[in-house]
Amino acid sequence: MSAYASLTVHFGRISAMSNAIGILQWDSDTMMPKGAAASRAESLALLRVMQHEMAVDPRLSDWLEAAGEDATLGTWERANLREMRRVFTAQTALPADLVEASSKAISACEMAWRQARADADFPALLPTLAEVLRLQREAGVAKGEKLGLSAYDALLNDYEPGGRSEKIDALFDDLAAFLPGFTQEALAAQARRPTPAPLAGPFAIEAQRGLGQRMMTALGYDFDRGRLDVSTHPFCGGADNDVRITTRYDEADFSKALMGVIHETGHALYEQGRPAAFMSQPVGQARGMVLHESQSLLMEMQACRSPEFLGFAAPLMREAFKASGPDWEADSLWRRYTRVERGFIRVDADEVTYPAHVILRYRLEKALIADAMPLAELPAAWNAGMQELLGTTPPNDRLGCLQDIHWPSGGWGYFPTYTLGAIAAAQLFDAACRAKPDALPGIARGDFAPLVAWLRTHVHGQGALLDTDELLTRATGHPLDAGVFKAHLARRYLAS
């Protein structure tokens, strides 16, 4: 067996282990009884240590060196080899005891977060979150020393290979300067239009679930390779060819669950569309979380808040909730789904204010990883940042620094990918609509096939073959920049 073939077998086994971990983690977040938390934490920690041991197998170094001399490898195989090296380099920076300790700390912190969030009690979370932060900082330092990066950039690199805070700082500083004034303009333009009346609930959860499944089908989600469930924080997870999504329901407002389902379906379409021939290999994985978030936000914000989509969705909403009247017409629903408000909750934010939520979290997590701010000061720093960026202060920590699971679950370095993804989403949707003139008319009919086919070719099916900027340049004509995103916001929100 050649060195490259040995590598593919080995990384296929690592992928199988990831699949097992993914399903166990999904169960932990959806159906696992509280009493199983301790034993589940032990199981996940053991599997993650075993996976880590596989990823740092000393044979890999020799195989990687020998495969690098193999002149028979094609473009995809060479890219796969590059991604194998990247994984091996990052994993060999971490000792097994740190992987185990981090997994156990995350499991404990996630359980503590659920209760602390419900109780709006940050001090109750502080001890377990401090341990997660300590271990994440340690991991960032270890990886950074191996990769020649800062601790934060080393953590970011796990979610967005090649991503650097220097570039993000420039983009986010530009947006932070742009957004307050633009938000005022958008609110002023909105005030000149009729204000949509609140839709009268309650909206039965079963009806919401049925509507969500109908939308998932329209978008192209394959229910033979996934399912829809409920969790405290919506997510897309599972395993290869078993891509599961979750949402959360509010009987007073069906739009939260519906848009959550659409958002997570965008992620799922990416996972279900990865290149089948390399599904278990590093090159067959999603490029990174910037492109992953671009797919969820492209569906949720670009496509499914468009007038075309609301024209298709309005009758389905009326049917689902047995509703009628002018408030349920497409134009009124469009005004509702594009309403700008200074709110507290990131996942419920409109696309104008959403970047401010992300910029806040990015700045805070950078400071915490750099040990430039005590963790105990997080609630106060959060509230001050909300006031500066959004002009509002959360009344409690449940609506403030406790709202997201990312930090308790070890997702340090993830947050900036949301807004970088929004920028990429605007570029990709614009390019898709120019390349496929039937994309928007198709959405108006509930036919997402033209749009999804373009995404399959230019994003999903590319796996990790290209880096983010190269993929965007090939698909849209230029690398990541905020110009198309700003132009999109102006078209949608400044029209009177």
Just list the catalytic residues. 264
Report the alpha-carbon distance of residue 168 to residue 155 in Å, rounded: 14
CB 34 within 8 A of CB 111: yes
For residue 47, which of 28, 75, 67, 69 has the smallest C-alpha distance?
A: 28
Residue 100 to residues 42, 53, 159, 241, 247, Cα–Cα distance (Å): 9, 11, 20, 27, 29
For residue 152, which of 163, 160, 140, 161 has the smallest C-alpha distance?
A: 140
Report the alpha-carbon distance of residue 216 to residue 33 in Å, rounded: 28
483 Cβ contact list (under 8 Å, min separation 6): none
Residue 64 to residues 3, 60, 74, 277, 414, Cα–Cα distance (Å): 7, 6, 15, 21, 29
For residue 333, which of 345, 346, 344, 324 has the smallest C-alpha distance?
A: 324
Sign of CA dihedral 423, 426, 428, 430: negative
How many of the other CB atoms lie within 10 Å of CB of 39? 10
362 Cβ contact list (under 8 Å, min separation 6): 168, 172, 415, 416
What backbone phi and psi angles, to 5 degrees, belong to 239? -150, 175
Report the alpha-carbon distance of residue 105 to residue 130 in Å, rounded: 10
Report the alpha-carbon distance of residue 246 to residue 265 in Å, rounded: 9
Residue type, position 15, single letter:
S
CB 247 within 8 A of CB 228: yes
Q: Which long-range contacts (CB under 8 A, 24 or more apart) does 30-36 make?
A: 30/229, 30/230, 30/231, 30/246, 31/229, 34/111
| 190-221 per-position pLDDT tens digit | 999 888 888 988 999 999 999 999 999 999 99
| 209-261 per-position pLDDT tens digit | 999 999 999 999 999 999 999 998 789 999 999 999 999 999 999 999 999 99
For the chain, residues with pLDDT lower than 50 are none
Report the alpha-carbon distance of residue 14 to residue 474 in Å, rounded: 31
At 248, list the tokens.
């959360």
For residue 389, which of 191, 185, 233, 182 has the smallest C-alpha distance?
A: 182
Which residues lie across from 239 on neighbouring strands? 242
pLDDT given for residue 281 in this prediction = 98
- DSSP conformation class of 481: -
Which residues lie across from 229 on neighbouring strands? 246
pLDDT given for residue 496 in this prediction = 60
pLDDT given for residue 81 in this prediction = 98
256 Cβ contact list (under 8 Å, min separation 6): 248, 249, 250, 347, 348
User: Which value, in Å, is the radius of gyration of the alpha carbons in the chain?
Assistant: 22
Helix (H) or strand (E) holding 245: strand 242-247
pLDDT given for residue 194 in this prediction = 85
